[in-house]
Amino acid sequence: MTLPRNRAQRDNEAFEENSGDQGVDRRVVVKNTAGDPANVSFTPSPSAITIYNKAVPSADTEVSQSINSNTRQLIIRARGNTVIKFSFVATESGTKFTTIPVGSSLSLDNINLSSATIYLQTSKASQIVEILEIT
């Protein structure tokens, strides 16, 4: 007769000891219905990666960039020493925006844009904003 497993037993079965570090590290092992480790991929491979180098000629003046359909990730950063103001709505990049500080980047992960336009401003003139688009 097989006794029902309690939660602690089930939880322990989901973990695997990392033999390389004397058991300090535990990692989750996803198992299939047969109890064997399952082959799981959480992030689909990108089908296309597009880089935009968007010129921003004047400080505090809005520029736009169209984003392709089915975009799953956007990474935005300034090439120079400037703050970026970022918005999805025209004319709001100066009033309702997300700030990307100097030396930082903004990564929007696990998004599913059917199509969109982003709006940007920089705090200094003659800047380049780098946009990495992953579909």
pLDDT tens-digit series, residues 81-96 = 999 999 999 999 999 9
Q: Left, alpha or beta for 43 (phi > 0: left; psi -120 to 50: alpha)? A: beta
pLDDT tens-digit series, residues 38-55 = 555 455 567 889 999 999
Q: Which two tokens stand for residue 128?
A: 């380049």
Q: What is the domain partition of the chain in residue ranges?
A: 7-40, 49-134
Q: Which fold has domain 49-134?
A: Jelly Rolls (2.60.120)
How far, CA to CA in Å, does 79 sit from each of 17, 120, 134?
A: 43, 14, 19
